[in-house]
Amino acid sequence: MSTTFQLDTATSRATPTPQPMRRLTVPKIRQRKKDGVTEEPLVMLTAYTARQAQLLDAHCDLLLVGDSLGQVIYGLPSTVPVTLDMMANHAAAVVRGSYHSVVIVDMPFGSYEASPQHAFESASRLLKESGAAGVKLEGGAAMAETVAFLSQRGIPVMGHVGLTPQAVNVLGGYGARGRSDAEAEKIVGDAKALDEAGAFAVVVEGVVEPIAIEVTESISCPTIGIGASARCDGQVLVAEDMLGMFERVPRFVKRYEEIAEIIAKAAETYAAEVRSRAFPGEEQTYQPK
């Protein structure tokens, strides 16, 4: 659905401006891969706020409200503590701030694993409360039944294989996956199972490149790579990582800007002007008429 409202600028800095175009849809995303080929790769970035969505929306096909917000926004040690409330609230903000991209929201750890019915309750709540177009969940063949259950009931699902951050305690860390033959075979099998179950796309994270390529060539739905291969059908990054907001980022991240340095420098200048009473100046104060 397109943004059809304008927030009151007297009370909010967020002013999403409707554009003369329709929002992309999940079927349109799925159809970008034809006969095993995606001519124009899909572009996806994470977004957690309305303003961030506004800035990224025009350049993306999909905006992912990732459970990475647990670390990026809340300073948590992993994505495991993230709640449904967190995801629903941030997803609603991203939907309000966008008009073009398909908004997908992560299902947090513990909200879908118990049963397909449990997953449906969680997913339907997320979509109702946020207006997002679909959900993403981690796991391969073990989640195929759940993916089919949701898809058959009108909830589009994006899968996620390879390095699955919610399973970090089982995996023992964030190292690349697929280095052994057995693990590589499992990743490919997981992706095929999700594809056959009805996933409209599959994120392939942190796997050795030949396996990412094999997965992309083996399934009919688009693959979205992160730490995978340029030959995936699309790419995703955590926006704050590629903007240089953190000192330490995964090796697969390319830093397109150093926003943290810009923010720190601006704060330093502001602090100096406040302490010297140079700010506020006449332009920032109300003078008698």
User: Which of the residues are catalytic?
Assistant: 205
Q: Three-class SS of residue 177?
A: strand
Q: Name the nearest CA neighbour of 184 among 206, 159, 158, 157.
A: 206
Question: Does the CA dihedral 24-28-30-31 come out positive or negative?
Answer: negative
Question: Is 67 marked as binding a ligand?
Answer: yes
The reply to whether 241 sits in an annotated binding site is no
Are 23 and 99 contacting, i.e. CB atoms less than 8 angstroms apart?
yes
For residues 59, 40, 205, 181, the Cα torsion angle rounded to the nearest 10 degrees is: -170
Handedness of CA 86, 92, 98, 104 (dihedral sign): positive
Distance CA 76, CA 24 (A): 32
> Is 68 marked as a binding-site residue?
yes
Q: Are 218 and 191 in contact (CB under 8 A)?
A: yes
Question: Which residues are annotated binding-site positions for Mg(2+)?
Answer: 67, 106, 138
Residue ranges at the known binding site for 3-methyl-2-oxobutanoate: 67-68, 106, 136
Q: Which residues are annotated as a binding site?
A: 67-68, 106, 136, 138
